[in-house]
Amino acid sequence: MTDTRYPCLAGRAVIVTGGASGIGEAFVRAFASNGARVGLLDLDAAAGTALAEDVAASGAPRPDFVACDLLDIAALKAALDLLHARLGDAAVLVNNAANDRRQDFLEVTEAEFDWSLGVNFKHQYFAAQAVVPQMRALGFGSIINMSSVAWMGGGPSMQAYSAAKAAVVGFTNSLARDVGKWRIRVNAIAPGMVITPRQRALWFQDETQIAAGRARQSVPDAIEPADIAALGLFLAADDSRLITKQCFQVNGGSR
**Residue numbers annotated as active site:** 161
Between CA 14 and CA 216 the distance in angstroms is: 34
Residue 160, strand partner residues: none
Pairing mode of beta strands 37-42, 64-67: parallel
CB 38 within 8 A of CB 88: no
H or E element that contains 124? helix 123-138
**Alpha carbons within 13 A on the beta-carbon side of 184:** 26
Between CA 133 and CA 98 the distance in angstroms is: 24
Between CA 245 and CA 168 the distance in angstroms is: 11
- Residues with Cβ within 8 Å of 142's Cβ and at least 6 positions away in sequence, in order, are 91, 92, 93, 184, 185, 186, 187, 235, 236, 240
Find the angle CA(190)-CA(177)-CA(192) to the nearest 5 degrees. Answer: 5
